[in-house]
Amino acid sequence: MVRSALRFVLAQDVSVVVTGMKSIEEVDAAAQVGNEYTEYTTVETNRFKVQFDGKHCRDCGLCLACPQDIDIAAILRFQTLYSAYGLKNWAKKLYSGLEVNATDCTECGVCEPKCPYNLSIMSLLKDTHACLRH
């Protein structure tokens, strides 16, 4: 998955990407992907061809901080992993590991005016919980 993610980044029209690495082995793996990079295969092209509906979180984090300590951006990122990328089991696993999840939302509404994309965050949290709970 890491190699695939790095290939995805390399295929984008960007000049600089800063990735977090925890060990020399991770640096070596990233360098190997870069050194061996070739154009996407047809399978990879289809895998990463994702269409968003405009109602998805862009993970900017501007909705934070939540008074209930809900990591809204992370929860909505897990929903994107689930629905857009088909990583259903991984998204559910990540969500189940949260100490504070979408059910802790009191619908105080502090987050929604902060969202530059005018997302209905409280509604999205409910939908995400219904989708990702075990």
Cis peptide bond N-terminal to 65, omega within 30: yes
- Domain span at 88: 72-132
pLDDT score recorded for residue 31: 85
- Residues 123 and 78 both lie in one domain: yes
pLDDT of 1 reads: 62
**What torsion, rounded to 10 degrees, do the Cα atoms 2, 4, 5, 7 define?**
120
Does the residue 28 lie in any domain? yes
Q: Is residue 57 part of a domain?
A: no
C-alpha to C-alpha distance for 126 and 134, rounded to whole angstroms: 14
Residue 23 pLDDT > 70: yes
pLDDT, one tens digit per residue, over 44-80 is 777 777 666 677 888 888 999 999 999 999 999 999 8
Single pTM value for the model: 0.66
Residues 32 and 79 in one domain: no
Token digits for 130? 């219904």
Residues 128 and 88 reside in one and the same domain: yes
Query: In this predicted structure, what is the pLDDT of residue 15?
Result: 66
If one compares 90 and 13, the residue with the highest pLDDT of the two is 90
